[in-house]
């Protein structure tokens, strides 16, 4: 993942080749979303953050992940 290295992301990102996560978390235009879609899921599987049609959310996502780690 070159993007991760470029912006310094150390947490895992999901490449959903078979659309399992896509369907489970209702991602895509068929669900009314416009790409890109960013979703952060906590340890319990609950969506903690979600945004659609907004680019460059790296700083906001890092902040949310840090909050989840600290709680």
10-31 pLDDT, tens digit each? 877 777 889 888 888 888 888 8
DSSP state of 36: -
pLDDT of amino acid 63: 93
For the segment 48-65, the average pLDDT, to the nearest whole number, is: 87
Place of tokens 């700083």: 59
The count of domains in the chain is 1
When pLDDT is averaged across residues 25-38 and rounded to a whole number, the result is 83
| Residues 6+ positions from 25 with CB-CB distance below 8 Å | 39, 41, 47
53 φ, ψ to 5°?
60, 30
Instruction: Please give the C-alpha separations between residue 18 and each of 14, 21, 24, 47, 61, in angstroms, as whole numbers.
Output: 11, 8, 12, 20, 24
Respond yes or no on whether the N-terminal peptide bond of residue 3 is cis (omega within 30° of 0).
no
Domain that holds residue 43: 2-70
């Amino acid at each position: 993942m070159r993007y991760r290295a470029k912006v310094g992301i150390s947490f895992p990102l999901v490449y959903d080749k078979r659309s399992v996560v896509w369907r489970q978390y209702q991602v895509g235009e068929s669900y009314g979303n416009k790409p890109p879609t960013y979703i952060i899921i906590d340890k319990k599987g609950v969506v903690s953050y979600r945004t659609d049609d907004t680019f460059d959310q790296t700083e906001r996502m890092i902040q949310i992940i840090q909050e989840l780690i600290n709680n």
